[in-house]
Structures are given as C-alpha cells and as structure tokens.
C-alpha cells in the first residue's frame, strides 16, 4: 500500500487546532499546561495527536463542560 492510501491515524498540531477551532499557538500553550488532547512527541520538532486520544479528549471535555476542567492525567481510555 502506498502512504496516500493509508488511513490517517494522527493529526499535526495545525490540523488539530483547526478541528478544535483554535490558534495553533493556543494548542501549544495548552500542551505546556497539561491541557488539550494527549500529544505524542516523536522528536523536538514532531508532535502528533492520535485520533483515538483526540476522540477520548473531546468526550471528556464535553462531559466536564470545558477544556480547563480536563487535565490530561484525568483523561482515561475505557473509563
């Protein structure tokens, strides 16, 4: 299979910010504050947000009533 035929399993910070409707800088600030979806850091310049983690975070934000009510350590898969 060529890469273009593979399903996209992770989003870039720019794509993640776009989907949420925020500035990429805000997402970076959230990341440093322990807020926002769980990032996967592959290197100092490569951060991705896996779709499964992103979906868990979105549901947690919806249930909690806001981003600031959900710190990453509180988001649990399958809870």
- What pLDDT shows up at residue 8? 83
Q: What is the pLDDT of residues 1-19, one digit of tens each?
A: 566 666 789 999 999 999 9
Joined together, the tokens standing for residue 65 give: 């009533």
Per-residue pLDDT tens digits for 19-55? 999 999 999 999 999 999 999 999 989 999 999 999 9
Domain map of the chain by residue range? 3-74
- Name the pTM for this structure: 0.80
Distance CA 60, CA 53 (A): 11
Domain 3-74, CATH number (from 2.60.40, 1.25.40, 3.30.70, 1.10.10): 1.10.10
Instruction: Give the mean pLDDT of 59-66.
Output: 94
Beta-bridged to residue 62, according to DSSP, are: none
Residue 50 CA to residue 34 CA, distance in Å, equals: 16
């Amino acid at each position: 299979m060529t890469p273009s035929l593979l399903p996209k399993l992770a989003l870039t910070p720019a794509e993640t910010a776009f989907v949420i409707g925020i500035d990429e800088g805000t997402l970076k600030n959230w990341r440093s504050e322990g807020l926002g979806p769980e990032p996967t850091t592959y290197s100092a310049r490569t951060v991705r947000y896996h779709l499964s983690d992103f979906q868990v975070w979105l549901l947690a934000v919806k249930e909690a009533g806001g981003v600031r009510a959900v710190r990453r350590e509180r988001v649990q898969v399958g809870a």
